[in-house]
Amino acid sequence: MSDAREWTVEDHLTGAAPEHVALCRRVEELLLGMGDVHRSVSRTTITFVGTRRGFAGARPTSRGVRGYLDLTRTLPDDPRVTNVSPYTARLFVHQYLLRDETDLDDTFVGWLREAHAVGQGAHLRRPADPGARP
């Protein structure tokens, strides 16, 4: 019998600065509000899963909210994006750090929407053939 325990969202929030907990809760609210999303919590992060796959993660840290977004493109340079690496031929993992509420602007919310589309399988659709006839 295993003694492994199940991690919870509260485990990640316990002991974090109140402003970082609030910021993490805001990210969570935005992602869950996009529909067809559930959480999968592990020791390392809170993952947000769409109908096809996990697409984003978030957790409060001593510096803010750290997480990741799976996108079908690489983002331009932005101080919130701390690392980008290819995951598959069609997906790139973007590590991010939100330091305060101002980092959660319309641009970042747009990236959340793009990641949500990946969670729903947008990365599996073939791009339109520009030479195809209608």
Q: What is the mean pLDDT, run by run of 10 residues, along the chain of 134 residues?
A: 73 89 96 96 94 96 96 95 94 97 97 97 69 50
CB 95, CB 66: distance < 8 Å: yes
Find, among 36, 37, 35, 47, the residue nearest to 9 by Cα.
47
Residue 93, phi then psi, degrees to nearest 5: -95, 125
Q: Across 1-134, where does the E strand assignment appear?
A: 38-41, 46-49, 54-60, 65-71, 81-86, 92-98
